[in-house]
Amino acid sequence: SQELEQSPQSLIVQEGKNLTINCTSSKTLYGLYWYKQKYGEGLIFLMMLQKGGEEKSHEKITAKLDEKKQQSSLHITASQPSHAGIYLCGADYNQGGKLIFGQGTELSVKP
């Protein structure tokens, strides 16, 4: 969707390295959701961000929403092979629960 741009499209990192995935919206977000997906499987919920400047962490994954609520980043510290998969950001534009997803970032972690 042109409303939501995700970058990079793919990422290959060495195990133990840090990485960042970005998600940029063309308009103000009511909420921003991060999901992880293994190919052909369902989406696993990671984090939800709603307030400008909000930051949440779970294990080695940290997500932030900027003050203007138009950009979010997902940062993985000391990546592991278990982090490999497709990361999707989903935007809530206050449309009755509809999520618009970015194109996804395919992450590979080399041992």
The 3-state secondary structure of 70-111, one letter per residue:
CEEEEEECCCCHHHCEEEEEEEECCCCCCEEECCCEEEEEEC
**Least CB distance to other proteins at residue 54 (A):** 13
Binding mask of the shown chain, residues 20 to 59, with x at each position contacting other proteins by CB under 8 A: ----------xx-x-x----xxxxxx--x-x---------
Q: Which two tokens mark 84?
A: 């490999």
Cβ proximity to other proteins: between 18 and 30 the closer is: 30
Q: Categorise residue 50: left if φ over 0, alpha if ψ from -120 to 50, beta otherwise.
A: alpha
CA distance 109 to 88: 17
Q: Is 94 in the site for other proteins (CB under 8 A)?
A: yes
- Tell me how far, at minimum, the Cβ of 43 lies from other proteins, in Å: 4
Phi then psi for residue 82, to 5 deg, are -70, -15
Which span sits near other proteins by CB under 8 A: 13-21, 53-61, 77-85, 99-107?
99-107
- Binding residues for other proteins (CB under 8 A): 1, 30-31, 33, 35, 40-45, 48, 50, 88, 92, 94-104
